Chain A
């Protein structure tokens, strides 16, 4: 595993660094810097930009600003794990146990219901960090790919961060919610191996001094 030292070479203020920190999980997964706006890495810049553009196109269908706007809106509105929580959150332990014996047509449903059981009462934010965390990362890459300029990128990051602040109250809650989102996304392969890479990234973000989540307090948003 590789990571970059947290050095803030561009002299960003703590509020700006906080905005970037909301993309922490995906940035760490892709081994990118956390302390600069553009998600740079070592290597050939042209090739990296090409790779960034391909990733935006291939994984999110983003080819231009309009696509980016549509994707951000989609992530803001989508309801995934929450629908299951609304249905099953009030269940008793016996119901959760009995559910495993019900023959669901979609074999991933028992896995999701098990997730609701595990996180019962403790995940009011549901998996929204998975959506908003990815939005932050997409904004940075859209800037890198040239779809938006830096001013626009900071503006979008602000809007995204405002939503995050309304919902979450700590990096821990943000991290749990992100991981729940990853588990939901991979609900068909509901195993420890399926989330092992997310676990490594979370560990880094929550323990290492070169992580933005250790460098910045949650309330540094206000600085």
Chain B
């Protein structure tokens, strides 16, 4: 039987018609006996309404799509006019605003705006103030129109200007509301436009109604409820009060009467309500408020009940009426009826906390009643049903009270045995497998069998245990192949025997049956991790973690798998979260390594923070402090992963130029109990040199290296690390202002680099380095007027740089100047000539120096 048949109508796209059918169906019911039937009708009604709304939504979407495609066509709406001045545009705005057919049509406004933008000969800022003034009295517009205005005109500049703050707003304070309108929007206007869309009012009347509704809202915000009520009661004539106005008035009066206990409010409430009902006698909300008022006043709940039922028969789709009915049943101690109502309402709306609470309250009372009433024991089906419900709610003591003294019925026996076993499990965590197996042999009742299997197999602690239960798992699945729980357990069996692909397939099937089974999300992510489907693992565990963030294993999966799919920030934050959840002694070296690596990769490669060196530095500095608070596991400093962790910490510091912190990690690596890998040693040596230089630890560097390097540099060849150390020693002496030593080591370094084998592809790089280094030496001593050293450095330069180069001109010039200072005019002139010659060979680099050299030669 289709939903249409259930309400006795043919398929129709008319919500009103469907509602009438519901009303007729419900009208004849006796609510004491037919409550379930009433809810059936209601359920059918909602299903049909959803169908109608889907169809309408699809049709609307098609229409919108068409309209958007006609965007360009619409822009030609104003093709016969030009709005090249604010006056012309405002005139058009007024025209559109006063036309009810087009005021709320975004495309009409867009067309006029586009026309103005296209034809205006002035700056668009000239349009701002006229539009602002227009909006101060013509503000009932939809937000999409306001958006078009904001996109086209520079209101932001206007509002940011000092003229706006210091002059305009003082003179015209009402324009402040327009600023709010344009910058923040006004959702209430949008809502009222939508609410009054089909109201039987002229456009002008709608504007008035909206205006006073907003005024009432303003009073409500200020908690001046009397004024809010008056805004509507005195300003809008009775015959123009559409339902939304009456609803607002009644709501305000109700709250004033029953929540804020204001004097005379009750009288106003009932008078307003009764008057409103004269205009709208079948308005659902008004009828609901009437019975709600009755409920609040209730002396006799039987009368209240009758009035609610009467209201339901007029408005059978208004859910809140059923809720009140349920509460009234509770007051009348009709717990079975109350339970039916609240359970049904819960199914209709699982998000309403009141339904959840009152279902529980009703159930508690219902069970207490049942315990006093012996009649349930006579009806087996009813008895079993109650026991099932009590097992669901863990009311084991009550089940014991309800137990039949003797019974030969296998189903009842089985269920009671199950109840005892389940209670033991709930309280102690221990399963009574014997009892559960007994249940399975005793009964053929599917529901009891299902429960026994479910409990038998739930929360098995180890994979070995799961694997050992293969027989039971298969029996469960064979008996209930359409059950997500049984399918899930099949998945767990295959998971336990490491057939991860089969496990994945079963888990997926379980999710298809029931996408709300959270346990499956966890298990399927585990299977995905084992199968290296890391992206899927992340996807599934993310769902699980939405509802359970404190469970450690899922966090581990998220952290690790996010790393594998290069979601480094997500990986890092999840490792941090993991460390906050576990006992500090449970943190492993491997986890620390991944955590640091994730942070490193995030900082180095994440495009979202590319170029933001300040953020990176600050972030890493804070995170390092955090990291130091984690307890290092035993063996961390001996473990290769521990070494790697310290290495990546050092590299992280290097990347964001935290040299002090970086050097500290380098020192930790150096003092490790066991030797780290060679590549680590090489990298950290270079970094250590850099840190010591940048931190000004010159003497420490010299003490560390000089003796060994002095010796090795005589004998070792092609040792780039040695060359680098020599380089840093030289600069360390520069840092200590020891000119002699500085000069000595700089020359030593230059000659050592010069002697290195160029066979490898690094030749070009080396030469470039060498050139700039040797020039640096010349510059350095020239700048501190160390003439002899300048000359010696220059000689070294020419000895090393045998190939002609543009820098020769500069070096020669400085040597010439140095010779002149030492009164060696012959050599001075010689080198000035060399400068001129190389400048001719390589013009454009040192023209000024060559000019000076030429002048000196000529003089």
- Can you list 24 A-B pairs, Cβ within 8 angstroms, ordered by A? A1-B426, A5-B427, A54-B583, A90-B248, A90-B251, A92-B248, A93-B247, A98-B190, A99-B187, A103-B143, A118-B352, A118-B353, A172-B357, A175-B353, A192-B350, A195-B353, A197-B547, A202-B360, A204-B394, A206-B361, A207-B360, A207-B393, A209-B397, A209-B398
Q: Out of B143, B243, B349, B546, which one reaches A189, CB within 8 Å?
A: B546
Q: Which residues of B contact A (CB under 8 A)?
A: 143, 187, 190-192, 194-195, 217, 220-221, 223, 228, 243-244, 247-248, 251-252, 254-255, 258-259, 284-285, 292, 349-354, 356-358, 360-361, 363-364, 367, 393-395, 397-398, 426-427, 429, 516, 518, 546-548, 580-581, 583
A118 to B352, CA, bound (A): 6
Q: Which 10 A-B pairs have the closest CB atoms?
A: A92-B247, A192-B350, A179-B353, A206-B360, A98-B194, A58-B580, A98-B191, A94-B195, A90-B251, A207-B364
- Chain A residues 114-141 with CB under 8 Å of chain B are 114-115, 118-119, 121-122, 124
Contact B221 A87 (CB under 8 A): yes
User: How many of chain A's residues touch chain B, expressed as a range?
Assistant: 35 or more
How far does the Cβ of A69 sit from chain B's closest Cβ, in whole Å? 23
Q: Is the CB of B191 within 8 A of A175?
A: no
Q: How far is the CB of A37 from chain B (nearest CB, A)?
A: 22
CB distance from B797 to the nearest CB of A (A): 62
Q: Is A194 an interface residue when CB atoms closer than 8 A count as contact?
A: yes
Q: Is the CB of B427 within 8 A of A121?
A: no
Complex Cα distance, B346 from A118, in Å, reads 12
Expressed in whole angstroms, the Cα–Cα distance for A99 and B221 within the complex equals: 18
Separation in Å of the A177 CB from the closest CB of chain B?
Answer: 8
> Other than the known A3-B394, A86-B223, A98-B195, what 14 A-B pairs have Cβ atoms closer than 8 Å?
A47-B583, A92-B247, A92-B285, A101-B194, A102-B194, A118-B352, A180-B353, A183-B351, A191-B351, A192-B516, A193-B518, A202-B360, A206-B360, A208-B393
Majority DSSP secondary structure for residues of A touching B: helix
Interchain CB contact (< 8 A) of B244 among A95, A99, A203: A95
Residues of B within 8 A of A176 (CB): 353-354, 357
**Most chain A beta-carbon contacts within 10 A, residue among B192, B243, B583:** B583
Q: A183 and B255 in contact (CB under 8 A), knowing A47-B583, A54-B581?
A: no
Q: Are A118 and B349 in contact (CB under 8 A)?
A: yes
Task: Report which of B351, B397, B518, B583 forms a contact with A118, defined as CB distance below 8 A.
Answer: B351
At the interface, yes or no: A217 with Cβ under 8 Å from chain B?
no
Is B353 within 8 A of A183, CB to CB? Answer: yes
Among B194, B217, B351, B580, point to the contact of A195 (Cβ < 8 A): B351
- Give the complex CA separation of A117 and B679 in angstroms: 65
Query: CA separation between A92 and B209, bound complex, in Å?
Result: 14
**A90 and B252: CB pair below 8 A?**
yes
Number of A-B contacts (CB under 8 A): 143
**List of B residues within 8 angstroms of A8 by Cβ:** none
In the complex, residue of chain A having the shortest beta-carbon distance to the beta carbon of B355? A118
Query: Smallest distance from the beta carbon of A8 to chain B beta carbons, Å?
Result: 16
Contacts of A162 in B (CB 8 A): none
Chain B residue numbers with a CB within 8 Å of A191 are 351
CB B823 to nearest CB in A, in angstroms, measures 75
B255 pairs with A121, CB closer than 8 A: yes
Would B516 and A193 count as touching, CB distance under 8 A?
Answer: yes
A214 touches B364 (CB 8 A): yes
Nearest CB of chain A from residue B303's CB, rounded to whole Å: 21
Q: Report B-chain residues with C-beta under 8 Å of the C-beta of A151.
A: none
Q: Give bound CA distance, A86 to B252, whole Å.
A: 12
B518: chain A residues within 8 A (beta carbon) = 193
Distance to closest chain A CB from B88 (angstroms)? 31
Chain B residues with CB under 8 A of A50: 583
- Judging by beta carbons under 8 Å apart, are A179 and B357 in contact? yes
Pick the residue among B220, B244, B394 that contacts A208 (CB under 8 A): B394
CA A193 – CA B516 in complex, angstroms?
A: 7
Smallest distance from the beta carbon of B144 to chain A beta carbons, Å?
9
B357 touches A193 (CB 8 A): no
Q: Which residues of A contact B251 (CB under 8 A)?
A: 89-92, 121
Closest to B253 in A: A90
Q: What 1/0 flags go to A206-223 for Cβ under 8 Å of B?
A: 111100001000000000
Question: Taking the complex as formed, is A169 at the interface, i.e. its CB lies under 8 A from any CB of chain B?
Answer: no
> How far in angstroms is the closest Cβ of chain A from B589?
20
**In the complex, what distance in Å separates the CA atom of A195 from the CA atom of B363?**
20
User: Is A75 an interface residue when CB atoms closer than 8 A count as contact?
Assistant: no
Decide if B358 touches A93 in the complex (CB within 8 Å): no
CA distance A56 to B190 in the complex (A): 44
Neighbouring B residues of A119 by C-beta, 8 Å: 352-354
By a CB distance below 8 angstroms, the chain A residues around B397 are 209
Min CB–CB distance A104 → chain B (angstroms): 8
Q: Evaluate contact between B357 and A208: CB separation under 8 angstroms.
A: no
B140 CB, nearest partner CB in chain A, Å: 14
User: Closest Cβ of chain B: how far from A148's Cβ, in Å?
Assistant: 23
A2 to B426, Cβ gap below 8 A?
A: yes
Interface check A66, CB cutoff 8 A: no
* Least Cβ–Cβ distance between A213 and chain B, in angstroms: 10
**In the complex, what residues of A have CB within 8 A of residue B398's CB?**
209
Q: How many Å from the CB of A166 to the closest CB on chain B?
A: 15
CB distance from A62 to the nearest CB of B (A): 13
Instruction: Specify which chain B residues have a CB less than 8 angstroms from the CB of A197 in the assembled complex.
Output: 547-548
Tell whether, in the assembled complex, residue B581 and residue A89 are in contact, meaning their CB atoms are under 8 Å apart: no
Q: Min CB distance, A131 to chain B, in Å?
A: 16
Q: Looking at the assembled complex, report how far the CB atom of B72 sits from the nearest CB atom of chain A, in whole angstroms.
A: 24
